[in-house]
Amino acid sequence: MSILQQVEEKLQRNERLTRQDALELFATRDVIGLGRLAGQVKRARWGDKVHFVINRQINPSNICVLSCKFCDFATKRGRANAYEMTIEEIVGHCNAELREVHIVAGLHPDWPWAHYLDMFRAIKQAYPQIQIKAWTAVEIDYFAKKFRKSVEQVLKELMAVGLAALPGGGAEVFSERVRKALFPFKLGAPRWLEVHKIAHQIGLRTNATLLYGHMETHEERVDHMLKLRALQEETGGFMSFIPLAYQTGKTQVVKRQASAIEDLKTIAIARLLLDNFPHIKAYWVTMGEEIASVALQFGADDIDGTIGEERIMHAADAGSPVALTRDRLVALIQESGSTPVERDALYDTIKVYDDRTCCENSVSQ
């Protein structure tokens, strides 16, 4: 019996997939069959709904105390590409349409704690409707150490001024082998997972990413997902899993970005293996619009959002646009045969676009 038939039978019996199943799925040549299975699981949960958000990504500074070998974004003060946004500039990037701002930066060497609190206060004061999804576990851990607070205290102080959720970045891949080679000074898997666990325990929901398509193996990708599945089993606090395809940029850990087949297999296997994650996100910034829209038939139920101005992947020469309009996202989702659902940062529904005329008129603008 083929691995796809075995997995199909397991799904019918409501049986959980194992590490071995996931590895065999990565080895399958029947990519369409894999997509069909993952699509079925996605539809059983979400029907033909696909989520998106009107959001804006803000990266307040690229100055970072770390120098990870895969990252083209981070730099040091004094270098020509270094920048720091003022709080006024950050608020200037927000507007009344936005439901979410996604804020991540470098580990800044000397911004005081009050600056982080004032930044959120200023955003919420100007635009109370915006939900702030900000600071990866790496940043939260850095704040705790730098400002001599517990992780819980850091999170609670940020929540008090408007933090709504933690983004999933900084996880990279939970492999000590890869960490030592590419990001030896960044926190490892146990601490990343601990920060998210603490967040979940105090009622803060979070996302999780996987950086793939560099030097990691399929085994390491699967082990990463299994660690997330185990924590989710304990806490239930994760909303979304986001595989991030490594953009080669100038760091060139490998010469070429992962193929479309690898992107689609990773999305589909995530949907099948991460059976306790509600959302699997096809991040159009790293996958490109075309593959992201195909991924919506391969198990993804979310395509992130309008984004506004992305700097991390574009510092690494991502070929995708820096922003998409609401109409373009709605059209992409409809072209994939799905119904667009506009959501907020916490996946509460704002609007369902069940009028098909948008798609018929949009062919491809």
Positions in 7-66 near ligand V47 (CB under 6 A) = none
Inter-residue contact 249 to 314 (CB < 8 Å): no
Inter-residue contact 338 to 95 (CB < 8 Å): no
Nearest partner of 132 among 119, 143, 145, 141, judged by Cα: 119
- What mask of x and - would describe binding to ligand V47 in positions 314 to 333, judged by CB under 6 A? --x-----------------
Token code pair at residue 225: 């997902």
User: Please, which residue, 70 or 298, has the CB nearer to ligand V47?
Assistant: 70
Binds ligand V47 (CB under 6 A): choice among 249, 288, 299, 340: 249
Binds ligand V47 (CB under 6 A): choice among 53, 107, 122, 312: 312
Inter-residue contact 228 to 181 (CB < 8 Å): no
User: Please, which residue, 3 or 71, has the CB nearer to ligand V47?
Assistant: 71
Tally the residues of the chain: 365
# of chain residues touching ligand V47 (CB under 6 A): 26
Inter-residue contact 181 to 172 (CB < 8 Å): no
C-alpha dist (Å) from residue 349 to 20, 99, 100, 146, 265: 36, 11, 13, 38, 28
Residue 211 touching ligand V47 (CB under 6 A): yes
Positions in 73-102 near ligand V47 (CB under 6 A) = 73
Inter-residue contact 300 to 42 (CB < 8 Å): yes
Binds ligand V47 (CB under 6 A): choice among 136, 266, 293, 338: 136
User: Please, which residue, 7 or 312, has the CB nearer to ligand V47?
Assistant: 312
User: Please, which residue, 70 or 120, has the CB nearer to ligand V47?
Assistant: 70
- What mask of x and - would describe binding to ligand V47 in positions 166 to 195, judged by CB under 6 A? -xxxx-x-----------------------
Q: How many CA atoms lie within 13 A of 166 on its CB side?
A: 33
Q: For 350, phi and psi rounded to 5 degrees?
A: -105, -45
Q: Report in angstroms how near the CB of residue 295 gets to ligand V47 at its nearest.
A: 14
At position 9, the amino acid (one-letter code) is: E
- Which one of 31-39, 165-173, 174-182, 327-335 is the stretch in contact with ligand V47 (CB under 6 A)? 165-173
Sites of contact with ligand V47 (CB under 6 A) = 70-73, 104, 136, 167-170, 172, 207, 209, 211, 240, 242, 244, 246-247, 249, 283, 286, 304, 312-313, 316
